[in-house]
A and B are shown apart, each in its own frame.
Chain A
Amino acid sequence: MSHTLSRDVLITNELGLHARSAARIAKLAQNASSKVWLIRGKERVDASSIIDILSLACPKGSKITLEINEESDIDILNEIIELVKKGFGE
């Protein structure tokens, strides 16, 4: 069954979504069975593409929303949210 689910999270690490953090999100999103979207303001990009994520230019303190289309991807969604919350362990 297809269900859109989303969660908000705040970027807390000093550098924002830079190359290293974007790569870690992309790696997780690539395992999803359907699309994982990363949304900031009006812009929405494919979270499995590091280049797409970088193009959003999210600094520390910005709010992003992660959205999945398949309920089965909920674990991946939560894993990404945790990673962002922890500030990517930086």
Chain B
Amino acid sequence: MSDTNATEMVLNGIGASPGICIGKAYLVDKEGVDVVRKYFIEKGSLLDEIKRFKAAVKKAKDELRVIIKNSNEELRQQSYILETHVVMLKDKMLYGKTIETIEDEGINAEWALKKVVSSLKSMFQNMSDPYLKERAADIVHVSDRIMKNLVGAEVVNIADICKRVILIAHDLSPAETSQIQLEKIKGFVTNRGGKASHTGIIARTLEIPAVLGLNQATGIIQNDDLIIVDGTTGTVVVHPTEETLVKYEERKIKYEEYRAAITRGSHLVAETTDGFQLPVMGNIELPEEVVSVIDHGGDGIGLYRTEFQYLNSSVFPSEEELFDKYMDVVEVIAPKPVTIRTLDINGDNAIAHVSKYDEANPALGLRAIRYCLQNPEVFKTQIRAILRVAAYGNVRILIPMISSYDEVCETKRILNEVADSLDKEGAVFNRDIEVGIMIEVPSAVTMADVMAENVDFFSIGTNDLIQYSLAIDRGNSRVAYLYNPLHPAIIRVIKHVADVAREKGIKVFMCGEMASDPIYMPILLGLGLDELSMNPQSIPAVKSMVRSLNIEDIKPFMKDVLKQTSATAVMKLVQDTYGSILYDKIYHE
């Protein structure tokens, strides 16, 4: 089967969509567009040059319209990207600027377009928001289409592919991906793009393996080459040997079995080999998401974010509105627990018409419990709804952003006051519910022993706790690389909170992103977390990982972890000790 003339070559990129496929490469060649000549236009012919440009744009627009009309059912929702491209074609920053450049500099349309696009591209690439960074690609796709029409290059028609292939491209535009007949595509390999690119998103949606950001893919891989794409590890093997082929065929079967197995097992409890049961819960924001938690085998709701009702209306929601929304969740998942987190934003900013202040540092500003205690009426309305819904299921209340013990006492005082008044009114409610606090501010960590006296549980919010502890803004791309849950300081902080909770006889949960990655399970179990909560999609893999661990075995490993002095060293230790289980699980369950 393998090509005897060629040697096996392994390429590493970004695994953007898991799974393995083996097949023939099909190159989507877009070269030719990259080679653009510059020449000057005589004054008298400038108008004709502008006309030529306008015609190329018009043609591009017509082409996109046809693609949108013919785009297949599965990707219909992606067609909004193409609609966006249609609007972009005539955008003054692109269209107007190019015409201006042709006129001002007396140059040909191709060169003017290239100039305008490269400055737009660098503007987007310098943005810190990863989503907007990727938008540079939209500009390039749009201009490529115009450019093709200008230079008269043949457009590769992906719709004509008629055999099952692995698509290799420099980059795939949404227009191109939407033209693909997906049953013909086994996998994607591209030079550009990352997890958040259109190709990455589409590949994951359709569960097709994809390795992106492979730099030289189109230079090395040739049409009809036999290749293996492993989207789990981000590996592409070109000209595999017979031996490699057999190995990957086996892995492929095992991966498919693994997917089926974790999905089948997701409804069972997550129990370690020595019998420790770890509740694995789901985080939700909308009541509808509760279905996804149930589907993925969640043992309850560990974090119900309640901001949405406040963000989507111009007035504060009424007690009845809140009660109804909470009821939707509590009723559906009962008797499993629902942890309702009270308002975690600055209400003034959320409700458009009362907006008064702009804060320089919103993360350190008036938000969450601080806002609620300053606006007790808003807070009491929410507490009333929560205590009432607690009569119909297993409800816990979670207070965010606690930074001092006074806030805990004041919150409890308001809770009692609300319960007393509900009692007087003869309302149906339950005042005996568990009250917990989010541990996300370093001062709450330090004061954990005091806090524990007055609450029923802690819930560690790793996202904010890491940001505040390490003084790192995750959204700032210049320092984001320093954000690391395995920083020894973070591990010690979590250990302190868990130790205090155990001493004081209260439970300690975790609801940040750290809880959703199987690789952190040995450490989280070792630190003694009682319950984890995560996005619903992560539940099956986390449960599956927990089942392969043993608490007794983790103890000596934890001792070593606590001796490490850097995040890199901790990661290496995790990989060395548990990497094989993790990767074995993916391929050998």
Q: Which residues of A contact B312 (CB under 8 A)?
A: 12, 87
Q: Which residues of B contact A27 (CB under 8 A)?
A: 87
Size bin of chain B's contact surface: 20 to 34
B120 CB–A CB distance under 8 Å = yes
Q: Which residues of B contact A49 (CB under 8 A)?
A: 91-93
What total of chain A residues lie within 8 Å of the partner, measured CB to CB?
29
- Contacts A8-B352, A20-B81, A49-B92 given; indicate if A15 touches B131 (C-beta within 8 A): yes
Identify whether the interface residues of A are mostly helix, strand, loop, or mixed. Answer: mixed
> Across the interface, do A48 and B84 meet the contact criterion of CB distance under 8 Å?
no
Residue of B nearest to A48 (CB): B92
- Interface stretch, picked from B7-15, B132-140, B158-166, B575-583, is B132-140
Shortest distance in angstroms between B144's beta carbon and chain A's nearest beta carbon? 16
Partner of A51, one of B81, B91, B350: B91
C-alpha spacing A60/B91, complex, angstroms = 24
> Across the interface, do A61 and B84 meet the contact criterion of CB distance under 8 Å?
no
B residues lining the A interface (CB < 8 Å): 80-81, 83-84, 87-88, 91-94, 120, 123-124, 127-129, 131-132, 135, 138-139, 311-312, 314, 345, 349-350, 352, 355, 358
- Contacts A50-B84, A51-B139, A54-B132 given; indicate if A10 touches B355 (C-beta within 8 A): yes
C-alpha spacing A9/B139, complex, angstroms = 28
Supply 11 further A-B pairs (C-beta < 8 A) apart from A22-B84, A48-B92: A8-B352, A10-B355, A12-B311, A12-B312, A18-B131, A50-B84, A50-B87, A51-B88, A51-B94, A55-B127, A63-B349
A5 CB–B CB distance under 8 Å = no
Q: Which residues of B contact A10 (CB under 8 A)?
A: 311, 349-350, 352, 355
A57 CB–B CB distance under 8 Å = yes
Q: Which of B88, B128, B314, B358 has the most CB of A within 10 A?
A: B88
C-alpha spacing A38/B81, complex, angstroms = 22
C-alpha spacing A22/B87, complex, angstroms = 10
A26 CB–B CB distance under 8 Å = yes
Q: 28 A–B contact pairs at CB < 8 A?
A: A9-B352, A10-B350, A12-B312, A15-B131, A19-B84, A19-B135, A19-B138, A20-B80, A20-B81, A23-B84, A26-B87, A48-B92, A49-B93, A50-B84, A51-B88, A51-B91, A51-B93, A51-B139, A52-B91, A54-B124, A55-B124, A57-B127, A57-B129, A57-B132, A60-B311, A61-B349, A63-B358, A85-B314
C-alpha spacing A18/B352, complex, angstroms = 20
Shortest distance in angstroms between A53's beta carbon and chain B's nearest beta carbon? 10
C-alpha spacing A38/B88, complex, angstroms = 17
C-alpha spacing A9/B131, complex, angstroms = 22
Q: Which of A10, A19, A26, A57 has the most CB of B within 10 A?
A: A19
Shortest distance in angstroms between B86's beta carbon and chain A's nearest beta carbon? 8
Shortest distance in angstroms between B542's beta carbon and chain A's nearest beta carbon? 24
Q: Which residues of A contact B358 (CB under 8 A)?
A: 41, 63
Partner of B91, one of A9, A26, A59: A26
- Contacts A10-B349, A54-B124 given; indicate if A23 touches B88 (C-beta within 8 A): yes
Q: Which residues of A contact B120 (CB under 8 A)?
A: 51
Q: Which residues of B contact A73 (CB under 8 A)?
A: none
A46 CB–B CB distance under 8 Å = yes
Identify whether the interface residues of B are mostly helix, strand, loop, or mixed. Answer: helix
> Across the interface, do B352 and A85 meet the contact criterion of CB distance under 8 Å?
yes
Q: Restricting to A1-47, which residues have a CB under 8 Å from any CB of B?
A: 8-10, 12, 15-16, 18-20, 22-23, 26-27, 41, 46
The list of the 4 closest CB pairs from A to B, nearest first, reads: A51-B93, A23-B84, A23-B87, A10-B352
C-alpha spacing A9/B127, complex, angstroms = 23
Q: Which residues of A contact B311 (CB under 8 A)?
A: 10, 12, 60-61
Residue of B nearest to A15 (CB): B131
Shortest distance in angstroms between B168's beta carbon and chain A's nearest beta carbon? 26
Shortest distance in angstroms between A74's beta carbon and chain B's nearest beta carbon? 19
Q: Which residues of B contact A16 (CB under 8 A)?
A: 131
C-alpha spacing A15/B80, complex, angstroms = 15
Shortest distance in angstroms between A82's beta carbon and chain B's nearest beta carbon? 11
C-alpha spacing A23/B135, complex, angstroms = 13
Residue of B nearest to A84 (CB): B352
Shortest distance in angstroms between A58's beta carbon and chain B's nearest beta carbon? 10
Shortest distance in angstroms between B544's beta carbon and chain A's nearest beta carbon? 29
C-alpha spacing A63/B127, complex, angstroms = 19
Q: Which residues of B contact A87 (CB under 8 A)?
A: 312
Q: Which residues of A contact B350 (CB under 8 A)?
A: 10, 61
Q: Which of B84, B124, B129, B350 has the most CB of A within 10 A?
A: B84
Q: Which residues of B contact A59 (CB under 8 A)?
A: 129
C-alpha spacing A52/B138, complex, angstroms = 14
Shortest distance in angstroms between B321's beta carbon and chain A's nearest beta carbon? 16
Shortest distance in angstroms between B368's beta carbon and chain A's nearest beta carbon? 14
Q: Which residues of A contact B129 (CB under 8 A)?
A: 57, 59
